[in-house]
Amino acid sequence: MSALLDAWQHAPTHKRVWALAAPMILSNLSVPLVALVDSAVVGHLPHAHQLAAVAIGGSLYTLLSWAVGFLRMGTTGFAAQAAGRGDGSALRQVLLQGLLLGGLLAMLLILLALPFSAAALSLMQPSAELEALARSYFQIRLLGLPAALATYALIGWLLGTQNARGPLAILLTTNLLNVALDLLFVLGLHWGVAGAAWASVIAEWSGALLGLYLARQALRAYAGQIDWPALRRWLNWRPLLAVNRDIFIRTLALQLVFFLITVQGSRLGDATVAANALLLNGLLLTAHALDGLAHAVEALCGHALGARDRQSLRRSLIVAGGWSLLASLGFALFFLFAGHWFIALQTDIAPVRALARVYLPYLALLPLLAVGSYLLDGLFIGATRAREMRNAMLLAVALSLPLAWLLQAFGNHGLWLAFLGFMLLRSLCLGTYAYQLTRADLWFGLRPAQGAAHAQP
């Protein structure tokens, strides 16, 4: 206990944690706020199926874009190494590789998106009006996918050069513009669901262009040039692809869980899927805030592991973990006692409001059950232990699916109980891997290939 108190009372560690966490929390919170504004604006249209269409179309788009979120992590790691060496040529190559890979993946995903969306909507079995609106929203959003993936690479690269203001500027610009255009297109010009989609597309391209400008400015501090022949050699692409393989699988499994929630909710009716979407916005708000502290864990723990500094590693984990617990408790109390206000802010459709309030206690429990997974994700990423992250996620999903099947008879209550079970299992599985690595004293025993893949998203 005294060791815990000594670590918690170490003021320099608190300063280091918040120096990294504060800008990332501001950046991260702007992301779910856009989803909240989308819901709030479309939620004040007269029909529940309009809000449900944005929820379904948005979940399909998110499944595609977040599945390649590894672009940010991998680009950060390689950029950080190049910046540490002062290698301007390598920095330029990492940036160009990230942008080219993002463009290639965007084209591939767009080709797969149309048959994927048709199959997904068929699986959901929505009403005819809901299906048409969701399909339209999704197809418009695809126009912004190349910009979204380029932004992932740009944000990761800027973080790698220790530029925390750049990502903050990109995300705030993108999301504030999205909010403004939402209000203009949906409420001002009465474009409905399509207006919300076009607002996102324009905002995504604006963010990507700003990111390119900021990257160009940052490169002025590093002399060098691009080695064009090296870009044509497969061996120079393999490290970037290999580093992100396990992160991709882990992210895909996580997004599958959220997608299945939308699928099962849609089978329970338009009002149910709309109510669940409002509540999941609360989870996104919580997750993005706690992820800011997880980013601090990634950077500080990764540095401590690289320096083989056990005391710094322990202090970073205890301080960031303590703040994460306090934040999760704050969110839980907010949703428990002010959740009705949170729901009313997003929609004035009475049936949707009433239904969402019934499930508020589940939302209040989520931060407390999920906080461990966010903190441990930061530790595993800082330690470049992506394989363990992948295995823990796959194990949690495998254990949760039978639970969800058994709880089907309880309707939406069963769906939420299964989701709570998944988040708890996710934390427990990661905790088990962390305990095993600690007992075997393997945190400082990184393999060479892993050390080269150090990522600090």
- CA 313 from chain centre, in angstroms, equals 25
pLDDT beyond 80 at 83 = no
Q: What is the pLDDT of residue 51?
A: 73
Number of domains in the chain: 1
- CA-nearest of 381, 401, 399 to 389 is 381
- CA-nearest of 349, 357, 394 to 54 is 349
Confidence of residue 426 (pLDDT cuts 50, 70, 90): very high
Mean pLDDT, the chain, whole residue set = 82
pLDDT beyond 50 at 343 = yes
Mean pLDDT of 433-450: 73
Q: What is the pLDDT of residue 457?
A: 29
Mean pLDDT of 366-373: 93
Lowest-confidence pick of 15-24, 189-198, 274-283, 316-325: 15-24
Lowest-confidence pick of 7-11, 116-120, 171-175, 301-305: 301-305
Q: What is the pLDDT of residue 252?
A: 82
In whole angstroms, give the CA distance from residue 334 to residue 332.
5
Triad 429, 430, 435: Cα angle to 5°: 100
Helix%, strand%, coil% for the chain, nearest 5: 85, 0, 15
Mean pLDDT of 338-356: 87
Higher pLDDT, 20 or 391: 391
Asked if the structure places residue 457 within a domain, the reply is no
Asked if the structure places residue 12 within a domain, the reply is yes
pLDDT beyond 50 at 447 = no
- CA-nearest of 23, 27, 25 to 292 is 25
Mean pLDDT of 11-32: 76
Higher pLDDT, 438 or 127: 438
Higher pLDDT, 33 or 148: 148
Highest mean pLDDT among 55-64, 257-266, 416-425, 446-455: 416-425
In whole angstroms, give the CA distance from residue 351 to residue 66.
31
Asked if the structure places residue 456 within a domain, the reply is no
Highest mean pLDDT among 68-72, 278-282, 336-340: 336-340
Lowest-confidence pick of 46-60, 272-286, 359-373: 46-60
In contact, 324 and 290? CB cutoff 8 Å: yes
Confidence of residue 171 (pLDDT cuts 50, 70, 90): confident
Asked if the structure places residue 228 within a domain, the reply is yes
Asked if the structure places residue 323 within a domain, the reply is yes
The fraction of the chain above a pLDDT of 70, given in percent, is 88
Confidence of residue 397 (pLDDT cuts 50, 70, 90): very high
pLDDT beyond 80 at 434 = yes
Question: CA 413 → CA 103, 264, 333, 363, 390, distances in Å?
Answer: 41, 12, 21, 12, 28
Q: What is the pLDDT of residue 1?
A: 64
Mean pLDDT of 325-345: 92
- CA-nearest of 217, 147, 154, 218 to 178 is 147
Lowest-confidence pick of 30-39, 152-161, 386-395, 435-444: 30-39
Mean pLDDT of 407-431: 93
Which residue range forms the structural domain that includes residue 375? 2-451
Q: What is the pLDDT of residue 30?
A: 62
Asked if the structure places residue 197 within a domain, the reply is yes
Lowest-confidence pick of 114-128, 188-202, 331-345: 114-128
Higher pLDDT, 319 or 230: 319
Asked if the structure places residue 84 within a domain, the reply is yes
Confidence of residue 99 (pLDDT cuts 50, 70, 90): very high
Q: What is the pLDDT of residue 46?
A: 60
Higher pLDDT, 402 or 72: 402
Q: What is the pLDDT of residue 453?
A: 36
Mean pLDDT of 335-349: 88
In whole angstroms, give the CA distance from residue 404 to residue 389.
22
- CA-nearest of 422, 387, 381 to 401 is 422
Asked if the structure places residue 372 within a domain, the reply is yes
Mean pLDDT of 88-101: 88
Confidence of residue 391 (pLDDT cuts 50, 70, 90): very high
In whole angstroms, give the CA distance from residue 147 to residue 156.
14
Q: What is the pLDDT of residue 452?
A: 36
pLDDT beyond 80 at 275 = yes
Q: What is the pLDDT of residue 228?
A: 78
